[in-house]
């Protein structure tokens, strides 16, 4: 695989919640149109790191963030950066699917409407394209006006992915997107991730190392708020540089 340009650069990132250190001195490059997986035991800082990439941690009282995070070379934490505009460029899919109590159509159209899109034809095109990209269109095309909450768990998660895609982001962050799903729905999400990286840069938190090995190009191993090792997934899983990484991957620890 050819070397990809870097989409996000993180240097000396630190996060504290009050007196608790969540991340310490983390530096990492996220390549364009690749899937970067974040692995490590619970509480190691994976989700905190993910949320730093679209400033979701800003909403937590008492949080203190230091270091430098850049998207296409632009600092994300500069005073003039609008976090809402940033989250349009860097979308998020959460662990638990969280469709709005609205129709399937209105779920996907929600973001574009918030950003001022009113043209009905354009909205319909955008909803269809987003649902197709999320591999859901064929299952819901004839019931777009039905409640999103009527969908199965796996369909709801793909709907949430379509909702994230509808605002035309550049980066998609996924926080354990398949952890609540059965194996068949999980396989669909993994297949979808593989297809989406053609158009988007993806960063995924997963507690499932087999999933990281299947879907990612780059894997980063976190432990106790520190980045222990990062590299091409195949190398990291077969020949890690650090003994701590090998212990975690082989199941001797974690």
Residues 6+ apart with CB under 8 A from 15: 21, 22, 23, 45, 48, 49, 52, 57, 63, 64, 65, 66
Nearest Cα neighbor of 178 from 168, 169, 189, 167 is 189
CA distances from 43 to 65, 122, 129, 234, 248 (A): 17, 43, 37, 25, 14
Residues 6+ apart with CB under 8 A from 83: 54, 55, 58
| DSSP structure class, residue 248 | H
Per-residue pLDDT tens digits of the chain, which is 254 residues long: 678 899 999 999 999 999 999 999 999 999 999 999 999 999 999 999 999 999 999 989 999 999 999 999 999 999 999 999 999 999 999 988 899 999 999 999 999 998 899 999 999 999 999 999 999 999 999 999 999 999 999 999 999 999 999 999 999 999 999 988 899 999 999 999 999 999 999 999 998 999 999 999 999 999 999 999 999 999 999 999 999 999 999 887 65
Tokens 């490590």 belong to 40
In degrees and rounded to multiples of 5, residue 68 shows phi and psi of -135, 125
Beta strands in the chain (DSSP E): 6-17, 20-31, 35-39, 63-71, 74-75, 90-93, 171-175, 201-205, 218-223, 226-232
- Pairing mode, if any, of strands 74-75 and 63-71? antiparallel
With contact defined as beta carbons under 8 Å apart, do 186 and 178 qualify? yes
Specify the pLDDT at position 30: 98
- Pairing mode, if any, of strands 74-75 and 226-232? unpaired
Q: Around Cβ 18, how many Cβ atoms within 10 Å?
A: 9
Specify the pLDDT at position 107: 97
Specify the pLDDT at position 252: 77
Note the pTM of the prediction, 2 decimals: 0.94
Domains of the chain (ranges plus CATH)? 6-249 (3.40.50.300)
With contact defined as beta carbons under 8 Å apart, do 78 and 71 qualify? no
Specify the pLDDT at position 254: 54
Taking only Cα atoms into account, the Rg of the chain, rounded to an integer number of angstroms, comes to 18
DSSP characters over 104-169: HHHHHHHHHHHTT---HHHHHHHHHHHHHHTT-HHHHTT-TTSBGGGS-HHHHHHHHHHHHHTT--
- Pairing mode, if any, of strands 218-223 and 226-232? antiparallel
């Amino acid at each position: 695989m050819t070397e990809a340009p870097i989409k996000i650069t993180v240097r000396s990132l630190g996060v504290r919640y009050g007196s608790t250190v969540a991340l310490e001195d983390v530096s990492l490059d996220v390549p364009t149109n690749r899937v970067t997986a974040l692995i490590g035991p619970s509480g190691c800082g994976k989700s905190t790191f993910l949320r730093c990439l679209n400033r979701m941690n800003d909403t937590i009282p008492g949080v203190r963030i230091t270091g430098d995070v850049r998207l296409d070379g632009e600092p994300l934490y500069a005073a003039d950066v609008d976090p809402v505009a940033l989250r349009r460029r860097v979308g998020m899919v959460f662990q638990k699917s969280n469709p709005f109590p609205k129709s399937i159509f209105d779920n996907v159209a929600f973001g574009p409407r918030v950003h001022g899109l009113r043209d009905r034809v354009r909205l319909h095109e955008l909803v269809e394209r987003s649902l197709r990209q999320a591999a859901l269109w064929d299952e819901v095309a004839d019931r777009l006006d039905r409640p999103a909450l009527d969908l199965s768990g796996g369909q709801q998660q793909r709907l949430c992915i379509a909702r994230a895609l509808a605002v035309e982001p550049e980066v998609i962050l996924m926080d354990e997107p398949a952890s609540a799903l059965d194996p068949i729905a999980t396989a669909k999400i993994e297949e979808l991730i593989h297809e989406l990286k053609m158009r988007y840069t993806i960063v995924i938190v997963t507690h499932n190392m087999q999933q990281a090995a299947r879907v990612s190009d780059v894997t980063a191993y976190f432990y106790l708020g520190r980045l222990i090792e990062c590299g091409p997934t195949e190398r990291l899983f077969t020949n890690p540089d650090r003994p701590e990484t090998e212990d975690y991957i082989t199941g001797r620890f974690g």
